[in-house]
Structure 1
Amino acid sequence: MILHDSIVALATPSGAGAIAVIRISGQDAITIGNSVFKSIKNKELTTQKTHTLHLGHIMDGSKTLDEVLVSIFKGPNSYTGENTIEISCHGSTYIQQQIIQLLLRKGCRMADPGEFTLRAFLNGKLDLSQAEAVADLISSDNEASHQIAMQQMRGGFSNEIAKLREELLNFASLIELELDFAEEDVEFADRTQFHELLNRIEFVLKRLIDSFAVGNVIKNGIPVAIVGEPNVGKSTLLNALLNEERAIVSEIAGTTRDTIEDELVIGGIGFRFIDTAGIRETEDVVESIGIRKTFEKIEQAQVVVFLFDSSEFKVSGLKLKVELEKIKNQFPLKPLVIIGNKADKLEESEIGNLKSEIPEILLISAKEKLGVEDLKNQLLSFVNTGALRNNETIVTNTRHYDSLLKALDEIQKVKFGLETNLSSDLMALDIKEALYQFGMITGQVTNDELLGNIFANFCIGK
């Protein structure tokens, strides 16, 4: 896949704004830009130095479309590795379309989604995992996902994989050399060093694979289901967490008939809170559908917050414990936060009794917003933020995760072969497959279908 034509797209969001940026990249990008640009100082863009700015007008024949600022980036010292210009014009949608249509008539074509970044990859400016991180960076909506995307875009993940691949490749070459001298019965690859390398690769792969559990939820937001009986304050708690009247609050039981979702960033981590219908026996058809959806949302959630009215514990304590056991048994692997709401109504003796009956309980008053910060801290404790603080590599991409699992499987096969004195030719096959999976991550091994799937998810203009 070699692309030589010049592409154009709007690099800023569509719609009206103060300014808009139109990007052109390709072998003839500067020449095409020069054909429609008239400098206020009569400069020719084709003779100007790279990384310079020029003020002038975009001209359609004798008609002036706009006063603009043109940035020049000459390949290979540009984002795409090709000649690139960026036209900063006024943000009128009419002006944007007039300039783009003019450039199309001058020989450009509209860029496909992600085509600028695709060209950067094809021209060796980024490897494939770094290119994918560009899309993650654009879509990041909290500090944690931004930090992970930046770390990957700077090549942290790529460098780890490239180093492992290079070391394994060196040993693979020695194994292949042994096969060339099979009749001589000699060993060029030191088996002890090879075993140490395999152990190190296995350790790193397992760490990266384990990080996906954290990385995936950080990237997509951690879903938290707020569940409990009707009228215990679930909607009030959601409003207190979000600090806005997002859910309808009423004294009437069963007010929430459907699930309500909203997001909140806590400590740089995105949490997606789901206020569910109250769980109870009911003959109301609509409410029954909402309750069924509640259990579906618990199934999808990473964390379950079980809320009950602490002021009613004397009356309904036994029933509450049965409900808690039911949720624990049905969802044993999900972190469960047990919250006693309306704690502002309790006497000291009642608080002591509650804590002795349910040691892990968190007492709050959603209406008075007491204890809400404690809940936020507890939710944050379920996320392994240590890796973020230590700037460790965290895997967030499902494609990378799949290749890492396959590479680990092949490395374990090689390790088993080494420990059981398997012949070098059979080990060489497993080593090649592990190298292939490493290459799939960084793009050293690729195909047009894979690239099409990856870059189709980019926005146009990037």
Structure 2
Amino acid sequence: MLVNDTIVALSTPPGQGAIGVIRLSGPKAIAITDVFFKGRNLTKVEANTVHYGKIEDEQGKVIDECVATIFRAPKSYTREDVIELSCHGSPYILEQVIQICLRGGARMANRGEFTMRAFLNGQLDLSQAEAVADLIASENEASHDLAIRQMRGGFSDQIKELRQELIDFAALIELELDFGEEDVEFADRGKLEALVEKIKGVIKELLDSFHLGNVIKNGVATVIAGRPNAGKSTLLNSLLNENRAIVSDIAGTTRDTIEERLNINGIQFRLIDTAGIREAQDSIEKFGVERTLEKIGSSTVVVYMFDVISTKPEALWADVERFLNASKVLTANATRIFVANKMDLNPYTQPEDYYKEGMISKDNLLPVSALNKMNIEALKEMLYLAVVDNPASMDQTIVTNSRHFDALNKAFESLDAVLNGLRSGITGDFVAMDIRQALHQLGLITGEIHTDDLLDSIFTRFCIGK
């Protein structure tokens, strides 16, 4: 891919709107625009300035009136000369302006090419560039805040610091190899072991944060399950504070899943109301129950609801064994919350009667009245804490990218090999090999080590114009 040519693309969403922004980047961006922009001589204006003018085609026909914003290298997003044309948002106008740019010597940008140039020109490292895509895709406060922190380099700085510490020791090990015949030792093995233990500890914390980062980025799959008429649809409506699901006294009203989104303290939960779990009465209900079990199997949180009027403790325990334990559909790291519903109709029910060691306790059972919205706010708090064990952890570095997780995991394994080698007294060349592998994996995260295939895989996920 050429990085010394000039690219152009529409940077706002396609379709009709008040304004559409066309972006050019490259050595000829200003010269190409100056030919058709009639207002100021753009080749002579100062950087970081905005100018009003008209756009004319080669025949002198006025296409639009627009505003041109000038950024001169290296003080731009790509560290190249960049021009952004804010035109009226007519698809016809925008297409005409882009065609004029193409005829003037620019070419259409590939997906993510502006951000790729920012990376190749040293404006961003690779993990920061990926955070740009996460920022664009963020749908809630928590995912937005994580993307902002990563884009500003918090995660990158931590990885680079770890990598540099390891490089300093690796250099000493490599120096020993140059003096192999003289049996000298430049790297203190005790200090190296302590350093590797420290780096492993930091990487372990980052690896442990991935589960939280993943659910923040993609939303928390939260299944509301239970027997028919337990009040699941009423609970969904109460959580959303709207009548989203049909509520009826007739058992088996919900035959398929209903999915809605709920934001709790910046975390997005994907609430899934499911068909009641019981022996199906017909083929349609059977299909609904099967779908319910599938949803439970792929969930992060299961809210299992039961009716305190018709469900005795023994019946609840049997349901848990039958549908959540024996069926083995629940993911290993999923959280279970048990909701004792219709407490308003049976206020003398003792929640502790439903406790069972290793299954249900005061920590995961909540009495509610879904109809009267009793304890709904408490349930929201339980849902939030089921995902965020410690709210303070939201301010720490959190891994959200599966590529980063994979690289960290491999780096951790390589550091394990380093420790095993040091403790078993293997020669420096084998220790150096494992250190180099760990450095390679950490370098892949920030882009200090990269391949064309890796870059293509990352940047083709961006939109054109970014």
TM bucket normalised to smaller = over 0.9
- Which residue of the other structure, out of 161, 183, 186, is the alignment partner of 1:185? 183
Q: CA deviation at 1:10?
A: 1.2
Report the 3-state secondary structure (helix = DSSP H, G, I; strand = E; otherwise coil) of the residue aligned with 1:186: coil
- Further displaced range: 450-459 or 376-385: 376-385
Q: Percent identity?
A: 53
What's the counterpart of residue 26 of structure 2? 26
Q: Distance in 1 between matches of 2:134 and 2:333?
A: 29
Q: Distance in 1 between matches of 2:75 and 2:391?
A: 34
- Which residue of the other structure, out of 86, 109, 112, is the alignment partner of 1:111? 109
Report the 3-state secondary structure (helix = DSSP H, G, I; strand = E; otherwise coil) of the residue aligned with 1:150: helix
What's the counterpart of residue 4 of structure 2? 4
Say if 2:460 is the partner of 1:460: no
CA RMSD of aligned residues (A): 1.6
Check 1:80–1:221 CA distance in 2 against 1; reply closer, same or farther (3 A cut). same
Do the aligned residues in 1 keep the contact of 2:109 with 2:464 (CA within 8 Å)?
yes
Do the aligned residues in 2 keep the contact of 1:387 with 1:394 (CA within 8 Å)?
no
Say if 2:196 is the partner of 1:198: yes
Query: What stretches of structure 1 move > 6 A for 4+ residues in a row?
Result: none
Point out where structure 1 has 5 or more consecutive residues left out of the alignment: none
Do the aligned residues in 1 keep the contact of 2:351 with 2:367 (CA within 8 Å)?
no
What's the counterpart of residue 76 of structure 1? 74
Q: Distance in 2 between matches of 1:338 and 1:385?
A: 18
Q: Distance in 2 between matches of 1:99 and 1:299?
A: 51
Q: Distance in 2 between matches of 1:387 and 1:461?
A: 36
What's the counterpart of residue 434 of structure 2? 430
Q: Distance in 2 between matches of 1:228 and 1:382?
A: 19
What's the counterpart of residue 384 of structure 2? 380
Do the aligned residues in 2 keep the contact of 1:130 with 1:158 (CA within 8 Å)?
yes
Cα deviation, 1:47-95, whole Å, max 9, x if unaligned, reads 1111111111111131111111100111111101111100011122222
Do the aligned residues in 1 keep the contact of 2:313 with 2:353 (CA within 8 Å)?
no
Q: Distance in 1 between matches of 2:438 and 2:372?
A: 57
Q: Distance in 2 between matches of 1:421 and 1:389?
A: 39
What's the counterpart of residue 319 of structure 2? 323
What's the counterpart of residue 358 of structure 2? none
TM-score by length of 2: 0.94
Q: CA deviation at 1:354?
A: 3.6
Q: CA deviation at 1:327?
A: 4.3
Q: Distance in 2 between matches of 1:408 and 1:326?
A: 39
Do the aligned residues in 2 keep the contact of 1:387 with 1:393 (CA within 8 Å)?
no
TM-score by length of 1: 0.95
What's the counterpart of residue 406 of structure 2? 402
Q: Distance in 1 between matches of 2:336 and 2:176?
A: 56
What's the counterpart of residue 141 of structure 1? 139
Alignment map for 1:431-446 (pairs within 5 Å): 431-446=435-450
Do the aligned residues in 2 keep the contact of 1:114 with 1:458 (CA within 8 Å)?
yes
Report the 3-state secondary structure (helix = DSSP H, G, I; strand = E; otherwise coil) of the residue aligned with 2:395: coil
Alignment map for 1:341-352 (pairs within 5 Å): 341-347=341-347, 350-351=348-349
Q: CA deviation at 1:19?
A: 1.3
Report the 3-state secondary structure (helix = DSSP H, G, I; strand = E; otherwise coil) of the residue aligned with 2:339: strand
Cα deviation, 1:112-134, whole Å, max 9, x if unaligned, reads 11110011011111000000000
Say if 2:47 is the partner of 1:50: yes
Q: CA deviation at 1:441?
A: 0.5
Alignment map for 1:411-422 (pairs within 5 Å): 411-422=415-426
What's the counterpart of residue 391 of structure 1? 395
Do the aligned residues in 1 keep the contact of 2:280 with 2:289 (CA within 8 Å)?
no
Report the 3-state secondary structure (helix = DSSP H, G, I; strand = E; otherwise coil) of the residue aligned with 2:14: coil
Do the aligned residues in 1 keep the contact of 2:5 with 2:28 (CA within 8 Å)?
yes
Q: CA deviation at 1:318?
A: 3.0
Q: CA deviation at 1:325?
A: 3.2
Q: CA deviation at 1:6?
A: 1.3
Do the aligned residues in 1 keep the contact of 2:300 with 2:333 (CA within 8 Å)?
no
Report the 3-state secondary structure (helix = DSSP H, G, I; strand = E; otherwise coil) of the residue aligned with 1:343: coil
Report the 3-state secondary structure (helix = DSSP H, G, I; strand = E; otherwise coil) of the residue aligned with 1:281: coil
Q: CA deviation at 1:385?
A: 6.0
Amino acid at match of 1:321: W
Alignment map for 1:162-173 (pairs within 5 Å): 162-173=160-171
Q: CA deviation at 1:405?
A: 0.5
- Further displaced range: 383-392 or 138-147: 383-392
Check 1:333–1:48 CA distance in 2 against 1; reply closer, same or farther (3 A cut). closer
Task: Give aligned pairs, total.
Answer: 454
Q: CA deviation at 1:29?
A: 0.6
Report the 3-state secondary structure (helix = DSSP H, G, I; strand = E; otherwise coil) of the residue aligned with 1:418: helix
Amino acid at match of 1:225: V
Do the aligned residues in 1 keep the contact of 2:224 with 2:272 (CA within 8 Å)?
yes
Q: CA deviation at 1:334?
A: 2.7
Report the 3-state secondary structure (helix = DSSP H, G, I; strand = E; otherwise coil) of the residue aligned with 1:345: coil
